[in-house]
Structure 1
Amino acid sequence: MKVTKNIKLSAIKVLQTEADAIQNLIFFINDEFEACVEAILASTGRVVVTGIGKSAIIANKIVATMNSTGTPAIFMHAADAIHGDLGMIQKDDFVICISKSGNTPEIKVLVPLLKRSGSKLIALVSNMESFLAEHADFVLNATIAAEACPNNLAPTTSTTAHMALGDALAVCLLEARGFTSEDFAKYHPGGSLGKQLYLTVEDVIPKNMIPLVKENASLSEVIVEISGKRMGATAVVNEENQLLGVITDGDLRRMLQVRTDIQNVKASDIMTRQPKTISKDEFAIRALNRMKEFNITQLVALDGENIAGFVHIHDLMREGIV
């Protein structure tokens, strides 16, 4: 039977409950949180993140975020830890243990073993009176009022709060290390995200395809250049090869709509003066943003004052940036 009653209200309630929980975490960002960040920064070890059940899934996400933002991290499942995986922990490592209750049997077995290894223990916990919180070197408070589940059982609000606090920790470490977008690109070379961070205009402009005509070129010469180089446009230059303007195929169509006598039309008569340009050394994503800003499909790429070519929207699409 299809039940639609109160579906929207239920969804809104879940989102509001989780949003409120994250908002309340602001009040738990205290001196201990700051000291925890500073201790990790001063350490020569890694960050080992552990948990069980849903907390293990959140731990994996935090590990992925830290690794991609300059903080070396590894995941260790809390159940596997007591069956051999403790061997991955080194003395200078920091171990973040994620748990809502902080009192599960696995946690109670694991904590003394972690303390014995000499590594520092960080509790990311929603119960400040728990066994985990009591024995940790640092406690990141992720207390929540209730789960979004109507039975207050399924991990929903708690896992959201844990992930958000893990993000806060990772970003604080990122900023403290001075981690830049260039650093980020080193860890994300694949996909469109990576290309936005390292691909330059020079990388995408077609080689040996520089359509250009002199300012006194005839209309037929302009058409042949635009058609032959297949860029949808041509640059117009003076005798010193300095850029004067650009003629697009759109300019040609608009000219034919208003002029009947085209015998004596020269390139300088129909070109767009002061065309939009971009340095060949700029990131390709900035070329895309510039095209969007001016609602155009190509830009003249410059090498200093010289024309390096044209970058077309299709070039960016081909690279998967659009």
Structure 2
Amino acid sequence: MINTDTILASAKRTILSESESIAALVQYLDNDFVKTTEAIYNSKGRVVVTGIGKSAIIASKIVATLNSTGTPSLFLHASEAIHGDLGMVQPGDVVICISKSGNSPEIKVLAPLLKRYSNILIGMTANKDSFLAKQSDYVLHAHVETESCPNNLAPTNSTTAQLVLGDALAVCLMELREFKSEDFALYHPGGALGKKLLLRVGDMLDDINKPQVSPDCSIKKAIVEISEKRLGVTAVIDNEKIIGIITDGDIRRMLNDRDNIAGVTAADIMTKNPKTIKTTAMATEALNTMENFAITQLVVADDGVYKGILHLHDILKEGII
């Protein structure tokens, strides 16, 4: 029978073991890490990251992180490299080769070949006395005392250490490049994250079916406009300029306050100086404005010229929140 306490104890040991290995990496950071960062920052080529086995999977993730944070990179599988893919490495590229032992047969064949164009070779290894370390221009010391595997065999702590060193390298490069959230958005245009960073009010606006009435129009016409456009509001426009809005709440309050609505015009019940936002504003800014003023619609206007109504549902539909 499975023992719950045993499972949880094993999971906790693994997490603690890996976290301790990561924390210990700090003491192995040296000038080679600095030189590696500088070499990549000053390179006119790409970063080629290679490895074999579990290290290859880590290499692929490091490439993804570098690419998404402004450092052009590509993944090269060590075993495929010696069977034709070595042509991916071009003059000016910086190569990072990942191997825990630094002595695997594929690495021994590959490491000298990676420098054929005088490429800078970075070795990421737990063994500074390994073949890879000795072939490398700089060494990123991914040292771990043991694996969290009970047999001290399956790559666990070691691959986590490699991953963390890759993240540290990517963050250092981001800071050197002064990589901002706007830059991040350009590399992540899809999904909720991209929309949150890139989507503007004008991108969501229906500028054809925009509710609007003139100041002197009848209340009946205003009600019809609100109902047809189904946004719960209509703008009151004079010479293309926004002068007020009428919401369905304004209509209800008017009916409660007045026994006779004959002769009442839009200008009589409109709310003057409504909250507005420009088409160039970020969608997140529009959302913040709605939350701050507890409203569900915003008038969109550029320099007072009416462009349409942005509804909270438009933002929700884009999946930003």
- Regarding TM over 0.5, the answer is yes
Quick one: distance in 1 between partners of 2:7 and 2:266? 64
Is 2:233–2:245's contact at 8 Å kept on the other side of the alignment? yes
One-letter code aligned to 1:259: N
**1:81 deviation in Å?**
1.8
One-letter code aligned to 2:105: P
When the two chains are superposed, the root-mean-square deviation of aligned CA atoms in Å is 3.0
Q: Give the direction of change, closer, same or farther, for the CA distance of 1:108–1:310 in structure 2 (3 Å limit).
A: same
Give % identity: 55
Deviations 1:270-322 (A, max 9, x none): 65565433221012233234434444332222212222111122223443434
Match of 2:94 in 1: 94
Map 1:126-275 → 2, pairs under 5 A: 126-213=126-213, 219-236=219-236, 239=238, 243=242, 245-250=244-249, 252=251, 255=253, 259=256, 261=258, 263-264=260-261, 275=274
- Higher mean Cα deviation, 5-14 or 197-206? 5-14
Q: Give the direction of change, closer, same or farther, for the CA distance of 1:41–1:284 in structure 2 (3 Å limit).
A: same
SS in 1 for 2:128: coil
One-letter code aligned to 1:76: L
**1:90 deviation in Å?**
1.8
**1:205 deviation in Å?**
0.5
Match of 2:33 in 1: 33
**1:51 deviation in Å?**
0.4
**1:77 deviation in Å?**
0.9
Quick one: distance in 2 between partners of 1:148 and 1:270? 72
Quick one: distance in 2 between partners of 1:157 and 1:262? 78
SS in 2 for 1:234: strand
Quick one: distance in 2 between partners of 1:209 and 1:219? 20
Is 1:124–1:162's contact at 8 Å kept on the other side of the alignment? yes
Deviations 1:88-124 (A, max 9, x none): 2223211101122222222222222223442111112
Quick one: distance in 2 between partners of 1:47 and 1:175? 17
Quick one: distance in 2 between partners of 1:23 and 1:114? 31
Deviations 1:159-198 (A, max 9, x none): 2221222122123223323434444344333333333333
Using the size of structure 2 for normalisation, the TM-score is 0.84
Q: Give the direction of change, closer, same or farther, for the CA distance of 1:81–1:296 in structure 2 (3 Å limit).
A: same
Is 2:125–2:140's contact at 8 Å kept on the other side of the alignment? yes
Q: Give the direction of change, closer, same or farther, for the CA distance of 1:234–1:144 in structure 2 (3 Å limit).
A: farther
Q: Give the direction of change, closer, same or farther, for the CA distance of 1:235–1:39 in structure 2 (3 Å limit).
A: same
**1:58 deviation in Å?**
0.9
Quick one: distance in 1 between partners of 2:130 and 2:175? 31
SS in 1 for 2:4: coil
Quick one: distance in 1 between partners of 2:269 and 2:29? 62
Deviations 1:55-107 (A, max 9, x none): 10111111122222222211111112222222222232111011222222222
Match of 2:44 in 1: 44
Deviations 1:43-64 (A, max 9, x none): 2221110001111011111112
Q: Which runs of 5+ in 2 are unaligned?
A: none
**1:214 deviation in Å?**
5.3
Is 2:242–2:301's contact at 8 Å kept on the other side of the alignment? no
SS in 2 for 1:159: helix
Match of 2:77 in 1: 77
Is 1:219–1:262's contact at 8 Å kept on the other side of the alignment? no
- Higher mean Cα deviation, 93-102 or 294-303? 294-303
Quick one: distance in 2 between partners of 1:93 and 1:189? 27
